[in-house]
Each structure stands twice: as C-alpha cells, then as structure tokens.
Amino acid sequence: MTHVDLNFDNRKALLFALTSERLSVYYEHDVWPDDNRALDTAKVWLMRQDLVGPPRLIRELAQLSGQFAKTLADSLSREAGLYMAHEMNQSLDPNHASPVAMDLLDECGRLLREASLAD
C-alpha cells in the first residue's frame, strides 16, 4: 500500500477535522481535549486517508487546531458554537455540502499560510 504525503489540501482537511473534534468534545464535555488527544485523532485520520506526514508537522497542526477551536468558541455564543461544531462534523462526510464549513475550510487554509505550514 502506497502512502501519500500531506499536501496543502490534505493539511487543510486535517486541520478542519481536528478543530471539529476539539469543538465537539468541548461542547459535549465542557473541557478542551489536549494536544495528545488531537495527535491520536490525527494519526487515525491519516491512517484512514492513507496519508503520512512528518511528526513535527502533525504536532504543529494539532496545536493549531486547539488555537483555532478556542478562537471559534470564544467568538460564538454556546448555541452558535454547538451549531458550528455540528456543521463541521456533518461536513466530514464528503456527501454533505455546507457553506459554513466551506468558509471554515478556507479559514484553515489562511491559518496554515499564516503559520508557515502551507508547504
């Protein structure tokens, strides 16, 4: 089985998935998952997608997802945050199209470029 390296689109998708997971856990349990949990989630996601990436990059994406999730939660009411987390989770299914999720995916791209994690 051949593995594929993480390109920009894969990085955006992983950042989106990790952020979605963090928001879901936060709104369900009222606690932020730590970076180790995000790393475990990333490993599972990468394995399912048959992707590989350098451990340092995966750690940086996990950390960035925590920052992004907290920024989103801080800027939204609880109700809006629950909706956002739900939309993000639904959008992990490729058959679900959501304008909200597309905007967040674009924001993931911007954050990657800003953090010099785009290439």
| Domain definitions of the chain by residue range | 4-114
Average pLDDT over residues 84-103: 92
Q: What tokens were used for 30? A: 């009222």
Q: What pLDDT shows up at residue 97?
A: 85
Q: Are 65 and 22 in contact (CB under 8 A)?
A: yes
Q: Are 81 and 19 in contact (CB under 8 A)?
A: no
Answer yes or no: is pLDDT of 2 > 80.
no
Q: From the CA atom positions of the chain, what is the Rg in Å? A: 13
Give the whole-number percent of the chain exceeding pLDDT 90: 91
Q: Does residue 33 sit in helix, strand or coil?
A: coil
- Strands, DSSP E only, in the chain? 4-5, 51-52
Q: What pLDDT shows up at residue 1?
A: 46
d(CA 85, CA 40): 19
Mean pLDDT of the chain: 94
Q: What tokens were used for 27? A: 């709104």
Name, in order, each residue with C-beta under 8 angstroms of 7's C-beta and a sequence gap of 6 or more. none
pTM over 0.75: yes
d(CA 116, CA 28): 32
d(CA 81, CA 75): 9
